[in-house]
Amino acid sequence: MALERTFSIIKPDATRRNLTGKINAKFEDAGLRIVAQKRIHMTKEQAGVFYAVHAERPFYGELCDFMSSAPVVVQVLEGENAIAKNREIMGATNPADAAPGTIRAEFAESVGENSVHGSDAPETAAVEIAYFFSGLELVG
């Protein structure tokens, strides 16, 4: 299988608790390479565009408030089967359901404040990467 790229966010609950390094270690230990990374603080509007797919869900407002409440680390991860591999390392959305050893099992605080985001398909990965990074910032 060819190298694949996925988009990842280390969310505000994790940056607040200084967990960036521990989370990045999990990605790197699993063979994913961080080919782009930056720390940003999104406005509520920018978070709203990113999560527009959830606009009709009851938790949308709360999610946008949370994602703009503190800095996040946005990153592009590269590796074999990177999209599925990253979702496996992250664990289930709700930390109560996340497998032992996953990021969400170890670090997430709740179903909403769950430490990381990862793209769910090649099409969404491409759109999400382009929202935050220019081609020149991706250094494989």
Active-site residue numbers?
117
17 is in an annotated binding site: no
- 81-140 residues in contact with ligand RTP (CB under 6 A) are 93, 111-112, 114, 117-118, 120
> What would the 3-class secondary structure string for the chain be?
CCEEEEEEEECHHHHHCCCHHHHHHHHHHCCCEEEEEEEECCCHHHHHHHCHHHCCCCCHHHHHHHHCCCCEEEEEEEEECHHHHHHHHHCCCCHHHCCCCCHHHHHCCCCCCCCEEECCCHHHHHHHHHHHCCHHHCCC
Please report how close the Cβ of residue 109 comes to ligand RTP at its closest, in angstroms. 10
Looking at the Cβ atoms of 5 and 117, the one nearer to ligand RTP is 117
- 29-68 residues in contact with ligand RTP (CB under 6 A) are 54, 59, 63
Looking at the Cβ atoms of 96 and 139, the one nearer to ligand RTP is 96
114 is in an annotated binding site: yes
104 is in an annotated binding site: yes
**Binding-site sequence positions for ATP:** 11, 59, 87, 93, 104, 114
